[in-house]
Structure 1
Amino acid sequence: MALTAIGVALKTYGLAWKAALPLLKFNGRLKEGWEQRTLADGEPAPADLWMQAASGGEAYLAWEVLRHLKPAGTQTLRVLVTTNTLQGYQTLLRAAEEINGRRAGLAVQPWYFPFDAPELMDRMVRRVRPKLAVILETEIWPGFLSACKAGNVRVLLANGRMTTKSLAGYMAWPDLFRALGPDRIMAVSETDGRRFGTLFGRERVRVMTNIKFDRMGDAGPMARKTNPLGDLIPDKDPFVIFGSVRKEEEHDVTRLAAGLMSARPALVLGLFPRHMHHLDLWRRAMDGAGLNWVLRSRLNGPARPGTVILWDTFGELVPAYGLAKAAFVGGSLAPLGGQNFLEPLTSGVTPVTGPHWKNFAWVGREIIDSGLAVEASGWQDALESLKKIVDNPPPRQEVAKAAKQYIRDRRGGAEAVAKQVADFLNKD
């Protein structure tokens, strides 16, 4: 794509934003921070480093990197951190309060990421004048990247992930993204690195450890006497969790639940929907399977053996893992990418997952090969695995200890990004 063609593409992109902006004002999620998103109420202060974290998850990664940044000499390192969501903004506010409170030579300013209209991004870059921009995970905005190129701002994409679907979308304009691409990409796996290399050129890509390992603390299994759910789950009856199950796998999860309750009628099953607004679907599914169920919110005393608890309260999955003998982690019996099976592991429970867990491929295949987690080929295979674990659960403390060691061996991603940031900032 010739330079003139890139200019035409960006102009077309800008016209699309100009048409879209009046409509976006009616979006409830975007009203929060509208003045910052449109720069209608001014711009942020100049900064040496601009770090973009799309939403809440990436904001926590940014927080971890900020903790590892070390200013050179006595000069304050000014950092602008931006995000697209309210949850991300609230997280960045807490991060700024902590980092600024340390008085360790960093000055952190949170801001909403402006809409990617090229005119807005050009204005933002001219005002902030960063030496370096850091993108966390996969935030490839043409207006932002173009403004950085025009302003001679180097760009680092860190903790990078790239799905085949995303790559296919970006490959619609391969020359455009190659021309605007980051100066360096730090991908979380060789597979992600190859995909970034296809789009931007392999010479720009390095592989790093996922920062998410750094965020995992050393907390072990919660003692029953301090567990807030201890009075609801009798110690003498096996307790099994189906964590973060999704509506797309409802048929298989229901058969798994029915098979497990039939094979082990004395157990208590805690079913945690990934999305609470689908609770009625799970009620109907349990009724259709002839299973006895009760809502968690209606449970005032110990659950009876042979009961499915439909969890309709938030924030109790991790304490529940602390009481479970076995766990199935959802989002994995249908091609949905899986859910977090490190949570039960750090609670001392060997998790069973279906075959679809590509969203957590960064954890490493070794977690399955080592036996720390079990990968089932389908619901029948998951049923057999759960029965074996229920009948002979590995010692909780040993599982938690092995999980902690697995995580510790893979930490260091935030430090690696901080070092790369320092290298860029210290270059003339």
Structure 2
Amino acid sequence: MAKGIDAALTAYNALWKCASPMLRLNHRLREGWDQRTLTGGLPARADLWVQAASGGEAYLAWEVLKDMVPPDGGPLRVLATSATRQGFETLCRAADDINGRKQGLAVQPWYFPLDAPSIMRRTVAHVRPRCALILETELWPGFLDACRRQGTRVLLANGRMTARSLGGYLAWPGLFRALAPDRIMAVSEADGHRFATLFGRDRVLVMPNIKFDRMTAPGPTGPTGPTGHDDNPLAGIIPEDSPLVVFGSVRKQELAEVAGLAAGLLRARPEAVIGLFPRHLHHIPLWSRALDRAGLSCAERSRLTAPVAPGSVVLWDTFGELLPAYGLARAAFVGGSLAPLGGQNFLEPITRGVVPVIGPHWSNFAWVGREIFDSGLAVRAADPVEALAALLRLLDDTPSRDHVSARGAAYIKDRRGGAAAVRKQVADFLDKD
């Protein structure tokens, strides 16, 4: 078995070497290339390596690290990595916040190295982490192999695994079982069962999703409150008398459906403004063309210096302003749900006092519970026609923002604790060193 695993990793390494010249041309991978390939040097040594795939996972890393207490008073050196620019920039902000707290943590952001075993073995041997924390599901063979060789304990937390992903991993179960994380903390019983099928039940437990820890109600929502128009950082570009509808985290696979939904909404409510937030910013040109084909006036957020006109679509080409936008919105549609993509985070608008509308696909968020729809805190539509009807109802009869955020806070309260559970497991791994 060991020889078979070594042979597989050797072949895997050769594939990375062959692909590297082409990968360097990829616009997403060009950024941070020197860090991804170590040609610009190596990261500093660290006790804990936290891997966050992209922006969403980077926020989870921030949530875990911000209240972490170093064992024996510290210091605790942390290497925080991400594979995307959005994730890296979020980790940079997290590092500034956490390092500034002077609580014994020293966080270094870095781009996640290419998973070629030769690169990963060199990186892990230099960094020498005692524990590696992988957020969500990042089963990179090169990284897992390098940690195994170094004796680094690996914790996969906030873990999710679809049946389709499990089928892919089971194509070579021996490889992944040989490289299995030491502990898997899954966000639901169903996810835990799938991880157990691949890695064995003894490694798996179920935890509250860390995203519940990030869902905090903003407090009073009157005109001078945190989500009021006057105090909102986006007040200068969204007219107070033009109802804002946010299309959050929309995906390119639902391009035509979302563009049609936006066009239908503005035909019915020409006084409205739509804030469209693509899940991936590098798809901005695709969205611009789709909106143009739908006959919609479109302005990029980065170019705005004055309030937009009613009937406009603001195409958000900057990162980090989705929550403030929800704070101004009268209604919201959350994407990744009109195509079979599993959905995006529809709890965020609820915490800002907005009832979200989603499409039929939400398997990524099954952990939230169907009760959220039964309670009226969110609306699930079968198709774009139903989604449009729901958005128009919410514009005509908008629920009290205070009422929605208060009910959302109550729903979330009993479901928190994921970040603390991960910190406890990390501390346990570090203490066993």
**Normalised TM-score (structure 1):** 0.85
Q: CA deviation at 1:34?
A: 3.3
Aligned-partner Cα distance in 2 for 1:301–1:39: 45
After TM superposition, give the deviation of residue 252 of structure 1 in Å: 4.6
User: What's the offset of the Cα at 1:199?
Assistant: 1.4
After the TM superposition, which of the residue ranges 404-413 and 243-252 deviates more from structure 2?
243-252
CA shift for structure 1 position 311:
1.9
Distance 2:207 2:104 in 1: 26
Larger Rg: 1
CA deviation profile, 1:225-263 (whole Å, cap 9, x unmatched): 34444885464x76645445555445555665676667x
2:274 maps to: 270
Partner of 2:66: 67
Q: How far off is 1:416 after superposition?
A: 0.8
Task: Assess, with a 3 A threshold, how the Cα gap between structure 1 residues 48 and 92 changes in structure 2: closer, same or farther.
Answer: same
Q: How does 1:281-320 map to 2 (within 5 A)?
A: 281-285=290-294, 287=295, 294-296=297-299, 308-314=311-317, 318-320=323-325
How far apart are the structure 2 equivalents of 1:26 and 1:13? Answer: 20
Separation of aligned partners in 1, 2:432 and 2:352: 44
> For residue 85 of structure 2, what is the aligned residue in structure 1?
86
Q: Distance in 2 between matches of 1:140 and 1:3?
A: 19
1:84-163 pair list within 5 angstroms: 84-163=83-162
Matches within 5 A, 1:328-367: 328-367=333-372
- The answer for the alignment partner of 1:203 in structure 2 is 202
Unaligned runs of 5+ in 2: 222-226
Q: Which amino acid aligns with 2:387?
A: A
Distance 1:299 1:257, change over 3 A: farther
What's the CA shift for 1:266?
7.1
Distance across 2 between alignment mates of 1:323 and 1:100: 32
1:185 equivalent to 2:184? Answer yes
> How far, CA to CA, are the matches of 2:412 and 2:166 in structure 1?
29
Q: Which residue of 1 aligns with 2:19?
A: 20
Q: How many angstroms does 1:17 deviate by? A: 2.2
Give, as a single letter, the amino acid of the residue that structure 1 aligns with 2:44.
Answer: A
* Residue pairs, 1:5-16, within 5 angstroms: 5-16=4-15
- SS of 1:78's equivalent in the other structure is strand
Q: Which runs of 5+ in 1 are unaligned?
A: 288-292
Q: Is 2:236–2:306's contact at 8 Å kept on the other side of the alignment?
A: no
In the aligned structure 2, how far is the partner of 1:78 from the partner of 1:299? Answer: 41
Amino acid at match of 1:160: G
DSSP 3-state at the match of 1:356: coil
The TM-score, its normalising length taken from structure 2, stands at 0.84
Find the residue that maps to 1:96 and give its secondary structure. Answer: helix
Measured at CA, do residues 24 and 350 of structure 1 come closer, stay the same or move farther in structure 2, by a change above 3 Å? closer
The 1:281–1:418 alpha-carbon spacing in structure 2 relative to 1, beyond 3 Å, is same
Cα deviations across residues 62-111 of structure 1 (Å, max 9, x unaligned)?
22222232122244222222222333333333333333333322233333
Note closer, same or farther for the CA distance 1:311–1:149 as it changes in structure 2 (3 Å cut): same
The residue that corresponds to 2:224 in the other structure is none
Q: Give the deviation of 1:185 after TM superposition.
A: 0.4
* CA distance, structure 2, for counterparts of residue 66 and residue 338 of structure 1: 26
Deviation of 1:165 after TM superposition, in Å, equals 3.0
Q: Are the structure 2 counterparts of residues 381 and 218 from structure 1 closer, same or farther at C-alpha, using a change threshold of 3 Å?
A: closer
